Amino acid sequence: MRNNATVIHSTVAAAAFALTFAAGASAQSVTVASWGGSYQAAQSKALFMPVAAAMGITINEETYKGIGQVRTRVAANAVPWDIISTGSGGGARACVEEILIPLDYNLIDVSNFVADTHLPCCVGSDVFATVMAWNTDTYGDNGPQSWADFWDVQKFPGTRSIRGKMHGMLEPALMADGVAPRDVYRVLDSEAGIKRALDKIRELKPHVAVWWSSGAQHAQLMKDGEVDMTTGWNGRFDVAKADGAKVAYTYNQGLQDYDCFGIPKGAPNAGLAMQVIAEMSKAEFQVNLPKYITYGPTNAEVYQTGQVDESVARQLPSHPSNARKLLPVSQEWYAKWEKIGSEMYQDMITE
Amino acid sequence: MQRIDALPIHIRAVTKTYGAVYALDGVDLEVRSGEFLTLLGPSGSGKTTLLMVLAGFTRPDAGSLKFGDAEVIRMPPHRREVGMVFQNYALFPHLDVAANIGFPLKLRGIDKNDIHARVESALATVQLQGFGDRRIHQLSGGQKQRVALARAIIFEPRILLMDEPLSALDKKLREHMQIELRRLHEQLGMTTVYVTHDQREALTMSDRIAVINHGRLIQLDDPRAIYDHPADPFVANFIGESVLLPVEIIDGKPCYRGRPLQVAAGHARDDKTTPGALLMLRPERLVFMDDARADAAAYNRFDGVVGHAVYQGENFVTYITLDDGHEVAVRSVSRKQSLAAAPPPGSTVTLGLHRDETALIPGHTAAAGNNNNDAETNRGHKP
Amino acid sequence: MTAAAMDINAAALRRDERREKLALFSLCAPASLLVLVIIVAPVGWLFWLSLFNDAGVMSLDNYTRMFESKSYTRIFITTFQVSFLTTALCVLLGYPLAYFLAQLPRRWAALGMLAVLLPFWTSLLVRTYAWLVVLQRKGLVNQWGMELGLWEAPLRLAHNLNGTLIGMAHIMLPFLVLPLYGAMKAIDFDYMKAAANLGANPVSAFRHVFLPLSLPGLFAGIIIVFVLCLGFFVTPAVLGGGKVIMVSMKIETLVDLFFNFGTASALGVVLLGLTLLVLFAAHKLLQLDRVLGGGHGGNP
Ligand SMILES: Nc1ncnc2c1ncn2[C@@H]1O[C@H](COP(=O)(O)OP(=O)(O)OP(=O)(O)O)[C@@H](O)[C@H]1O
Ligand SMILES: [Mg+2]
C-alpha cells in the first residue's frame, strides 16, 4: 500500500508539474524497460520507486524482450526507453554494436563495485550466479556439490535440465571434466577446448529431459518436479522455493554474472537517465535489493553499511563468502567465441 | 442389351408418417411383371416417398413389400437389385461417363474387359456412343439423363424406378425422351415404376397410372379409364379439365335439373345412382347442338348463355354460363367453318354431350380405384 | 450472309469484351497490390539480405554454410518431420471428426463446430502451457495413469517430440476440420443413395464415392496445416523441451541473439523454396488443380 501511495504521489506531482510547465514535463520522467516477472518487481521496489521519490521525478516502467528489441527500435530511430536492464552479455554486444551509449563514469561512481561488474556502456545493477540446483524430494540436502556430481548419474540418478544455449554451459562442462575453475577460459580459448566441453555435455545428453531457454522456465521445472536437477540462476530458485518449490542449490563452482543498466542510443531523456543510473548505483539504494530478490548488490559498500542482515547477506552471490566459490564470466571470451560456440552447441543438441 | 426377366411388385398396407403427416397412408398396389406404371399425384402426395420405400431408402412404419415372391421390406438398399434414375441424376462428378455407367459392374467384381464391353453396349442403347471419357459437367441435361438411365439398367435390374427424370428438361427434349424411355422399356421389358406430376406425360407413357393424393392410392387404371372414368372428383379435376354438375336421383334415375340423363350402358359405375353423384363435363366432349344431326337424340342437352371466347391456335374455347350459373368451357377445333359458325357473345345456346361420353362419378373423395376396393378400410381422414 | 453483314458491330463487341475483362482485372487490383506489398516485397527484401555475409559483403556464404553445417540440415529435417507427423495426426483425428459432424443434424453440428473452434478463442500460449500442465512428468495424464496402474514410470509426454506433436495437432485440427467439413457438407446425399442403389454396401459407398468427393476439402486442409506447421514457433518451443528445433526457432535465435539477418533470411528463403517445392510435388502428384477446382476445371 505504501509503495502504491508513493507511485501515486509522484505521478500526481509530475502531472501537476506537466500542467504548469507543459513543455518541460517530459524532462522530469524516464522510462525503464526490464524483463518483468519477480525480477522486475524487485527492481521496482528496491530501486525505481525509491530513486524516483528521492529525485522527485517519475520513473515509468515497461517490459521488453531483450536487446533484439532495442536494436530494432534504435534502427527505426524510435526508442521509447531511456534505460534498459539487460544481461552482461547482451550489454557487451550492444556496446560493440553501438546500440547503447557510453556511460559517464565521472557521474556514476563504481569505485566500490565488485570486480568485473561494469562495462563502458552498461553498469552492473546486481550480481547473480549460474548454479546447480536440485530437487530436495529426490536428493534431500545431499545434492550435488560439484559439476562432477551434476554429471554423475550413478551417484545421483534422475533427470537433468541444462540450458539450450551455450551461455554458461561450457564452463561447467569443463569443470566436470576436471579442469580447475581458474583454467576454464584458457582451455576454452580454442575450438578443441570448446569441443572438449561439448563432448562432456554429449555424455550427459541422454539424461537431459529439458534444454531450458529462460529463467522462468527453469524455476517452473523445479516447481513442477519435472526434472531432478538443473542449472540456472540462483535468484529464480530462491523465489521458487519461497513459492513452495522443493529446491536447493549450491554456489560451489557457480558462475558469477551480473545484470546491468544501459542507455539506448536516441533515448529521449538520456541526460536524466544518466543521473538516475548514477543514483541507482549508490549503496543507499542497492541496499534495498536483497529484501526482494536474492541477487547481490554490485556495489560492495552495501556489505559495510551493516544494513543487510548477516543471514541474508550470506545468501547473496556477491557476499565475499560466496564470491570466493564463483568463477566470474569472461566477457572477452564470449566476445571472441560466442558465434562459433553457439553453432557448435546447436550441432551438438540436434545430433 | 438383352431383354430382362421382369418381376412383379406387391405393395401391401404400406404406411409412413412424418410426425402427424401421413406421407403414405396404407398403400396397396400391385405392379404387374414388365409393366410401365406411373405414379401420378400433386406435389406432396407421397410419390417420392413410395418410390424411396421401393428402393429401400425410406423405412416405412408398417407394411409389406414383395419383389416376386421375396419379402424385401427389411432388405438394405444395396441388396435390392433395383435400378433407379434420380430426379437430379446423381451422377458421380469425380468419375467420367464410362466409370459412372460401369460403377455397378465394378462393385459386382466383374472383369475389366467385360465391363468395357457392356458399358459400350449400354452407351449404344442410350445412343451416347463415344461419350465414355467425357466428364459429367461436360454433358447436357438430356445426355446426363441418358447416362443415368444407362447406369441404372446396366446391371440388368428386374425393376426400374424413375423419379421425375424429365422434369429438368425443356419441352422438346422432354417429349423426345418420353419416346426414348418407352422404346427402351419395350426393348428391355423390366417392371418400371415412374413418377411424374405431369398428367400428359403419365397419359402418353404408361401402361397403367396410379393416382395418389394425401398418401393414398385413389385410382389405378389404364390411361383411358383414368381420363374417361375418374373414380372421384379429385381425379376428374386433376387430370384434364372438367366441370362437375350435381345430379339428382329421381325414380332411381340420374337427372340434371329434373331432366333425365342418358348414360351409356356398361361404362357407368356401380354407384351411379347413389345420392351425391356428379356429372363430368369436359370441354372437348361438349358440342354446340345442331338439331339437324342424325343422332341428335343420343345427346344430353344443356342450355346457357355465351360468354367470351379464347383463340388458342389449334383450338378455340368458348365459355358458356349454364342456366344454374355453372360456367363450362367448350373446346372446338380451329377450322374456318367452325370459327365462322361460333355463336356470338350474349346469344343463348344449347350444348350437347353424347350419351356414350357421359360419365357419372361418385361424389365423395374417399372412393378408390376399382382394383383397390379392399384397401378402403374404415380409416377416418387423418389430420 | 455477306462478309460485311457478319462484321456489323464486331469491333465494338470485341471492345466491350476487352473492357469487361479489364474491369474484372481492376477489381482484383487492390488485392494484387496488397500481395505485392505484404508478400512479394518482403520476400524480395529477405532474399536480398540473404546475399550478404557477416562482413556485409555480397556472397553466397549464408547458403553454403547451410549445406556445410549439419545442424541446419537437421533443423530442416526436424521441421518437415514435425509438420508431416502433425498433419498426419490431424488427418487421423480430423477426418472421422468432420465426418461425424457432417452427419449430425444442423443444430448439433453447429454445437460440435463450436467445440472444434473453441481453441481459437483462447490464446495459443495459454493452450500450449495447458498442455504442459497436462502432459509433464507429474502432470494430469501421468498422475491418473499411474494411480489407475496403467503404467508405472511416468511416460515422457512433454518436452520432446511427443508433446510437440500433441500440442500442434490440437492447435492445427480446426484448420483441417473446417475445409473438410465444408467439403463433406457439400456432398449431395443422393450420391450415397445412388451408390447404395447400384449395389454398394456402406463401406464401398464410402470408399468409392464419399471419400473421393471429400478429397478436395481434405487436401485443402492438409496443405493449410502442413504449411502453417512449417513456420510454427510457440508450441515446439514450449513443448519440445529444447530438443525439437524448427527453422522458425533458429531464425529467432539468429536475429535476436546475433542480429544476423543474412543467415536468418537465407533460412527463410530456403524454407520458402522447400515449401513451394512440396506444394509443387503435391500438385503434380495429386493434380490438385482438378481436386481443388471441385471438378469444374477444364479438360483433364
Ligand atoms: N424427410 C421428411 N420429413 C418430413 N416430412 C417429409 C419428409 N419427406 C417427405 N415428407 C412429407 O411427406 C409428404 C410426401 O412427400 P413426397 O416427397 O413423397 O411428395 P411427392 O409426391 O414426391 O411430391 P413432389 O411432387 O413435390 O416431389 C409431404 O407432405 C412431405 O412434406
Ligand atoms: Mg417427389
- Contact call for residues B230 and B280 (beta carbons, < 8 A): yes
Least CB–CB distance from C241: residue in A66, A211, A342: A211
CA nearest to C190 within chain B: B90
Closest protein CA for atom 1 of ligand 1: B18
A82 and A213 in a single domain? The answer is: no
Whether the predicted pLDDT of A236 surpasses 60: yes
Distance CA(A198)–CA(A185), nearest Å, equals 14
Distance CA(A63)–CA(A32), nearest Å, equals 8
C196 and C264 in a single domain? The answer is: yes
Chains touching chain B, criterion 3+ CB pairs below 8 Å: C
**Chain C residues with beta carbon closer than 8 angstroms to that of B59:** none
Instruction: Go through chain B and tell me how many residues it has.
Output: 383
Residue B288 phi/psi, 5-degree rounding, is: -75, 125
Distance CA(C216)–CA(C212), nearest Å, equals 8
Whether the predicted pLDDT of B379 surpasses 50: no
Closest protein CA for atom 7 of ligand 1: B18
The 10s digit of each residue's pLDDT in B34-47 is 999 999 999 999 99
Ligand 1 probe mutation, B15, B16, B17, B18, most atoms within 8 A of CB: B18
C82 and C131 in a single domain? The answer is: yes
Low-confidence winner among A310-314, B239-243, B350-354, C66-70 (lowest mean pLDDT):
C66-70
Whether ligand 1 lies within 6 angstroms of the CB of B197 is answered as yes
Distance CA(A266)–CA(B166), nearest Å, equals 81
Give B163 Cα–ligand 2 centroid separation in angstroms. 7
Question: What pLDDT is attached to residue A22?
Answer: 40
C40 and C117 in a single domain? The answer is: no
Whether ligand 1 lies within 6 angstroms of the CB of B213 is answered as no
A201 and A340 in a single domain? The answer is: yes
Whether ligand 1 lies within 6 angstroms of the CB of B47 is answered as yes
Whether the predicted pLDDT of B157 surpasses 70: yes
Q: How confident is the model at residue B107 (pLDDT cuts 50, 70, 90)?
A: very high
Closest protein CA for atom 6 of ligand 1: B18
Atom of ligand 1 nearest to the CA of B50: 18
Cβ pair C296:B137 closer than 8 A: yes
Q: Mean pLDDT score of chain B, rounded to an integer? A: 87
What is the H or E stretch that residue B306 is in?
A: strand B299-311
What kind of fold does domain B243-361 have according to CATH?
OB fold (Dihydrolipoamide Acetyltransferase, E2P) (2.40.50)
A262 and A252 in a single domain? The answer is: no
User: Mean of the pLDDT values across residues B56-84?
Assistant: 94
The 10s digit of each residue's pLDDT in C90-100 is 999 999 999 99
Cβ pair A350:C256 closer than 8 A: no
Low-confidence winner among A5-19, B79-93, B182-196, B256-270 (lowest mean pLDDT):
A5-19
CA nearest to C142 within chain A: A226
Give the homologous superfamily in CATH for domain B9-228.
P-loop containing nucleotide triphosphate hydrolases (3.40.50.300)
- Determine which of B52, B58, B92, B119 to mutate to test the interface with C (most C C-beta atoms within 10 Å): B92
A187 and A227 in a single domain? The answer is: yes
Q: How confident is the model at residue A4 (pLDDT cuts 50, 70, 90)?
A: very low
Of chain C, the percentage scoring pLDDT greater than 90 comes to: 49
Q: Which domain holds residue A194?
A: 128-257+327-350
CATH label of the domain that carries residue A120: 3.40.190.10
CA nearest to C159 within chain A: A210
Low-confidence winner among B122-126, B298-302, B372-376 (lowest mean pLDDT):
B372-376
Whether the predicted pLDDT of B62 surpasses 70: yes
**Please, is C107 exposed, middle or buried when counting C-beta atoms within 10 Å of its C-beta (0-12, 13-18, 19+)?**
exposed
Atom of ligand 1 nearest to the CA of B49: 18
Question: What pLDDT is attached to residue C39?
Answer: 83
The dihedral region occupied by B182, where left means phi > 0, alpha psi between -120 and 50, and beta the remainder, is alpha
Give B214 Cα–ligand 1 centroid separation in angstroms. 10
Q: Is residue C161 part of a domain?
A: yes
Q: Is residue C166 part of a domain?
A: yes
Q: How confident is the model at residue A1 (pLDDT cuts 50, 70, 90)?
A: very low
Query: How many domains does one find in chain C?
Result: 2
Whether the predicted pLDDT of A244 surpasses 70: yes
Whether ligand 1 lies within 6 angstroms of the CB of B77 is answered as no
Whether ligand 1 lies within 6 angstroms of the CB of B214 is answered as no
Q: How confident is the model at residue A264 (pLDDT cuts 50, 70, 90)?
A: very high
CATH label of the domain that carries residue C169: 1.10.3720.10
**Chain C residues with beta carbon closer than 8 angstroms to that of A212:** 242
* Residue with more model confidence, B5 or C275: C275
**Chain C residues with beta carbon closer than 8 angstroms to that of A67:** 256
DSSP-assigned beta bridge partners for residue B18: B21
Question: What pLDDT is attached to residue C6?
Answer: 65
Whether the predicted pLDDT of A163 surpasses 50: yes
A158 and A174 in a single domain? The answer is: yes
Question: What pLDDT is attached to residue A276?
Answer: 96
Whether ligand 1 lies within 6 angstroms of the CB of B191 is answered as no
Least CB–CB distance from A339: residue in C69, C71, C258: C258
Query: Terminal CA-to-CA distance of chain C, rounded, Å?
Result: 38
**Chain C residues with beta carbon closer than 8 angstroms to that of A343:** 69, 71
Ligand 1 probe mutation, B27, B48, B217, most atoms within 8 A of CB: B48
User: Mean of the pLDDT values across residues B206-226?
Assistant: 95
Angle B97-107/B112-125 helices, nearest 10 degrees?
130
Say yes or no: do domains B9-228 and B243-361 share a fold: no
Greatest distance between any 2 Cα atoms in chain C: 95
Name which of C187, C263, C256 is nearest C218 in CA terms. C187
C128 and C216 in a single domain? The answer is: yes
Low-confidence winner among A240-244, A261-265, A305-309, B377-381 (lowest mean pLDDT):
B377-381
Residue C70 sits at the chain A interface (C-beta within 8 Å) = yes
Q: Which ligand is nearest to the CA of B43?
A: 1
- Contact call for residues A194 and A340 (beta carbons, < 8 A): yes
Name which of A258, A269, A279 is nearest A326 in CA terms. A258
Whether B and A touch (3+ CB pairs < 8 Å), yes or no? no
Q: Is residue C279 part of a domain?
A: yes
- Determine which of B72, B94, B118, B139 to mutate to test the interface with C (most C C-beta atoms within 10 Å): B94
- The residues near C161 (Cβ < 8 Å, ≥ 6 apart) are C82, C85, C240, C243, C244
Residue A210 sits at the chain C interface (C-beta within 8 Å) = yes
Query: How many domains does one find in chain A?
Result: 2
Whether the predicted pLDDT of A38 surpasses 60: yes
Residue C170 sits at the chain A interface (C-beta within 8 Å) = no
Whether the predicted pLDDT of B368 surpasses 70: no
Residue C257 sits at the chain A interface (C-beta within 8 Å) = yes
Whether ligand 1 lies within 6 angstroms of the CB of B43 is answered as yes
Question: What pLDDT is attached to residue C2?
Answer: 53
- Contact call for residues C192 and C205 (beta carbons, < 8 A): yes
**Residue C25 to chain B, least CA–CA distance (Å):** 27
The per-residue pLDDT string of chain C (300 residues; one tens digit each, 9 = 90 and over) reads 455 556 788 888 899 889 988 888 888 888 888 888 888 888 888 888 888 887 778 888 888 888 888 889 999 999 999 999 999 999 999 999 999 999 898 899 889 888 888 877 888 888 899 999 999 998 999 999 999 999 988 899 999 999 999 999 999 999 999 999 999 999 998 999 999 999 999 999 999 999 999 998 999 999 999 999 999 999 999 999 999 999 999 888 888 777 778 888 999 999 999 999 988 888 887 765 554 444 433 333
* Cα–Cα distances in angstroms (integers) from residue C256 to residues A78, A342, C251, C253, C259, in the given order: 18, 13, 8, 5, 6
The 10s digit of each residue's pLDDT in B267-326 is 545 455 566 788 999 999 998 887 777 788 889 999 999 999 888 888 889 999 998 889
Q: Which domain holds residue C46?
A: 1-50
Cβ pair C190:B88 closer than 8 A: yes
Name which of C249, C257, C259, C262 is nearest C71 in CA terms. C249
